[in-house]
Amino acid sequence: MLIRMEDVKKDYPLGKTIVHAIRGVSLSFGEGEFSVIAGPSGSGKTTLLNLMGLLDHPTAGKILFEGKDVSTISDSEATHIRKKRIGFIFQTFNLIPVLTALENVELPLILKGIHSKERREITLKIMEEAGIVDIVKHKPDELSGGQRQRVAIARALVGNPDIVFADEPTANLDSETGLQIIHLMEEMNRIEEVTFVFSTHDRRIISLAKRKVELRDGKIVNDAI
Amino acid sequence: MLFKTAIRNSRKYLRRSIVIAVCIAVSTIAMQTMDSIGEGFKQSALRILLKKEGMILFEPGDDEPLDFAVHSIKDYSKIKKKVKEIIHDATITGIIWSPAMVINDSFSIETTVFSEDDLTGTILGEKTADILKSSPGDTVFLLGTNRYGGLSVFGTAIETTLTNYRSIREGRGIMMPISGARNFLAWDQDEVKRIRVNFNDYWNADDYVTQLKVVFPQLKITSWRERLTNIEALFRVTDIKMDIFSAIILIVVAGIIMNTVLTSVLERKKDIGTLRSIGASRSFVVLLILIEILFVSLIGALIGTGFSYLITEYISRTGISMESMSGTIEYLESTLYPEIVWKTWIGNIGFAILWAVIFSVYPVFYIVRMKPVEALREI
């Protein structure tokens, strides 16, 4: 298993009260999966993805990345794993506004310390696969929502990660573009053999996933292939 | 990429960059202008002080002749000629003991000046020359009684000549040209006890002393640096006064910079969270922001230096009048001219940039210490 969660809980303080965002989730994802975490707003989808993506620590339980317990690792260790093994796609695209599409995509390779010539080759290849090779010099504010999300997908994949977490990648897109983005992710999952775990509450998109994990009030209510 | 991103960020968040650049420009102007005025003051004070004390001083060696129970320097004229060969623009002044002082040893006046080269301030004015039946331009000496009742000799300045003349009319002294004073008091050139040498290039006094020591091994020759060891302390006081003014501005600037950088990084919280989530280390983010601060500060410091130069040049044309302070500070010329010391100015540029970086550290660390998930939150 690539990633496994064992009875993971996550609580947030909210003023004087505690919000139980994740209430004892046990879940695992293997290599090459194309899975969706579905559920209504506030069900804990984003929190779950953040925990699996090592952006946050669980309050209780264990998260194992390739068998290694990563639930209490240091910030620098988590950063290292994210850099080498994990890709992220966000609902609001989260592209760096001052960088061009090409520069945004090659950013993970810069962080990995890959030489500029090799970096440029890898970046252009992935941008071609994502169908955005014609917008390499455009800045994010010159791109449409669909193009921005394609850039974000290329950025998530350029570092050759083992797993990509996408938090509601279609939420800010119209339904047609949203479908195109999911199809692109599906294609990338097939070509690059990368595990994709994405969250959504869009029924049409849920149906495209091979595995559906349904979350409600911080608990898994359904996990079906 | 780091530099490119930092520079582009500074352009994107232009308003905040301008605030930081202006802050740094203001502090650079404050530091550099204050330094220039302070340097002008120091140079002015140094010139006056050294002229009085002598940039190089000759004193008798152990084998020099004894005269009036003290040593004196022989061959004054020969020494004068040799010194001029080494220091072409030298103004040489022989200092003798007043015979009057030796006769009446209760005198508090130690020495009087015996010099043909150093006549400024003792030139007789037209009106007074007429009263004294002398010629304008003659050097006059006042031979008067001092408060102990003995005789004393003073060089008189043109502006005080009339006052002195009144003293003479009241029977408290006589006034006479230098030749007359020399004959009257039976001065002799061999009675020179010290020789004071002044020149323009006083920073090289030590080098000249080395050369002069070779020519005059029998005499004790010292540079102002050897004798006025306390002068650095005097200047340090001036520096401290100027630094206090700059420090007030720097403290205000520090507050503005810290606040501006904090607002700026909070505005970019999401970008920083994104960078952290895709694997950027804390040090990468710190470096990215600090490069941006460095770049903006450098621009600000260079603009500030440009303005400092213009301000200093403008002040240098007219000078700063010190008439009102002339009675309170001993070594001060009537007009002060700021002087640029480029080495100090470059140091100020570096300091201003460092200041901006130091006060950006807290906001930068505040943001990078956030968990990526917190930084990614919209609010």
Chain B partners within 8 Å of A83 (Cβ): 278-280
Q: Return per-residue pLDDT of chain B as tens, 379 residues.
A: 788 888 888 888 898 999 999 999 999 999 999 889 888 888 887 877 787 778 888 888 776 665 544 566 777 778 888 898 999 888 887 776 544 333 222 222 233 443 444 333 334 445 555 555 555 555 455 554 444 433 444 444 333 444 444 555 554 445 555 555 555 444 454 566 778 888 888 888 999 999 999 998 888 899 988 887 777 777 777 778 778 888 888 899 899 999 999 998 888 899 999 999 999 999 999 999 999 999 999 999 999 999 999 999 998 888 887 766 655 555 666 778 888 889 889 999 999 999 999 999 999 999 888 888 888 886 5
Burial class of residue A37 (count of CB atoms within 10 Å of its CB; 0-12, 13-18, 19+)? buried
- Closest CA–CA distance from residue A54 to any residue of chain B (Å): 9
- Closest CA–CA distance from residue A150 to any residue of chain B (Å): 16
Assigned CATH for A33-43+74-224 = 3.40.50.300
- In chain B, what is the straight-line distance between the N-terminal and C-terminal CA atoms, in Å? 28
| pLDDT of res. A5 | 94
CB contact under 8 A, B279 and A159: yes
**Rg, chain A, Cα only:** 17
Beta bridge partners of A89: A166
CB contact under 8 A, B281 and A98: no
- Closest CA–CA distance from residue B229 to any residue of chain A (Å): 56
The secondary structure of residue B65, as a DSSP letter, is P
Burial class of residue A187 (count of CB atoms within 10 Å of its CB; 0-12, 13-18, 19+)? middle
Contact B354, B249 (CB under 8 A): no
CB contact under 8 A, A56 and B271: no
Chain B partners within 8 Å of A50 (Cβ): 373
Domain segments of chain A as ranges: 33-43+74-224
Nearest Cα residue in chain B from A78: B279
| pLDDT of res. B312 | 92
| pLDDT of res. B136 | 55
Helix/strand number for chain A, H first, E second: 7, 10
The model's pTM = 0.72
| pLDDT of res. B336 | 81
Name the interface residues of A facing B (CB cutoff 8 Å).
50, 53, 55-56, 75-76, 79-80, 82-84, 86-88, 90, 92, 94-99, 103, 107-108, 110-112, 155-156, 159
Tokens 């599906």, residue located: A186
CB contact under 8 A, A82 and B284: no
CB contact under 8 A, A108 and B274: no
Interface size A-B, in CB pairs within 8 Å, comes to 73
Mutation choice for B interface testing from A94, A114, A119 by most B CBs within 10 A:
A94
CB contact under 8 A, A112 and B373: no
- Closest CA–CA distance from residue B13 to any residue of chain A (Å): 10
Tokens 């620098």, residue located: A76
Q: Tell whether ipTM is more than 0.85.
A: yes
| pLDDT of res. A164 | 93
**Cα separation values, B310 from B191, B300, B305, B353, Å:** 52, 15, 9, 21
CB contact under 8 A, A94 and B12: no
- Closest CA–CA distance from residue B285 to any residue of chain A (Å): 11
Interface of B with A in 216-275 (CB under 8 A): 270-271, 273-275
| pLDDT of res. B105 | 27
**Cα separation values, B9 from B241, B288, B289, Å:** 39, 10, 9
Round to whole Å and give the CA distance between A96 and B274.
8
CB contact under 8 A, B275 and A96: yes
Give me the residues of chain A with pLDDT under 70, please: none
Round to whole Å and give the CA distance between B159 and A174.
94
CB contact under 8 A, B371 and A84: no
Q: Where are the alpha helices (DSSP H) in chain A?
A: 45-52, 75-85, 101-112, 116-129, 145-158, 175-192, 203-206
Contact B26, B356 (CB under 8 A): no
Q: Single out the residue of B248, B86, B125, B98 nearest to residue B185, CA to CA.
A: B98
Mutation choice for A interface testing from B10, B14, B278 by most A CBs within 10 A:
B278
CB contact under 8 A, A82 and B279: yes
| pLDDT of res. A196 | 93
Round to whole Å and give the CA distance between B77 and B180.
20
CB contact under 8 A, B271 and A96: yes
Round to whole Å and give the CA distance between A165 and A183.
16
